[in-house]
Structure 1
Amino acid sequence: MKAQVERAARFAALGDPQRLRLVETLAGRGEASISDLSSGAGVTRQAVTRHLKVLEGAGLVQGMMRGREHVWALDADGLATAEAEFERLKAAWRQRLARLKLLVEGE
């Protein structure tokens, strides 16, 4: 049950457009401060911080201090777990499509 809750949290975290944008930005930059992430985003630093906390709770990003600045980066382990979950779902979907194809072509 705990694993299902964790999976749901990961999918929910990625389901928000602002959070997905943050993940994409971090994927491109590697690390970024809240100031960098909120610049030009059309949302406040506080909103970016809230979104990052949700992503952190889902195990997708991690925050660290660099001097006096709080810097954020993707969490490689959390992303690998999410990727494995997507791959599992993709494999199940492909199996269903293959069975459907056999059923349709067999008639």
Structure 2
Amino acid sequence: MPPRTGATVTAVFTCLADESRRDVLEVLVQSGRASASAIAREVGISRQGVAKHLTLLTEAGLVTSERVGREVLYVVQPEPLQDAARWLDRSAAAWDRRLAALKAAAEKPGT
């Protein structure tokens, strides 16, 4: 795995470890794009709190922002989530192979 992808996956999991950030991201997924104020109304935390979460989501590459008039609108970037999903798929496949081998060894006659 290239270092950048590994760093991206780590940043994604670190960022999504916080429930509030997951809530903010979910609002963006559902709405397509939204301002910090609109997100704050949806998740029930202060606009300043949302802004801090958006900063961390942006640093992890999960969100980008765009100025539209007086507002800054945020949009989800799926690529880092896709990197994390691929990592999970590879890990799950590796564990499936290990568990199948363990099962086969446990069911082997004479053991």
Letter of the structure 2 residue corresponding to residue 36 of structure 1:
A
CA contact (8 A) 2:35 2:72 kept: yes
TM-score normalised over the length of structure 2:
0.82
Letter of the structure 1 residue corresponding to residue 77 of structure 2:
D
1:60 to 59, 62, 69: 62
Distance 2:44 2:95 in 1: 37
Distance 1:40 1:21 in 2: 9
Q: 1:97 to 1:6 in 2, by over 3 A?
A: same
Gaps spanning 5+ residues in structure 2: where?
Answer: none
User: By how many angstroms is 1:51 displaced?
Assistant: 0.8
Letter of the structure 2 residue corresponding to residue 80 of structure 1:
Q
Letter of the structure 2 residue corresponding to residue 58 of structure 1:
A
The aligned length equals: 107
Q: 1:45 to 1:99 in 2, by over 3 A?
A: same
2:11 is the alignment partner of 1:6? no
Distance 2:51 2:59 in 1: 12
**1:9-88 map, 5 Å:** 9-88=11-90
Q: In terms of mean alpha carbon deviation, does 44-53 or 90-99 score higher?
A: 90-99
TM-score normalised over the length of structure 1:
0.85
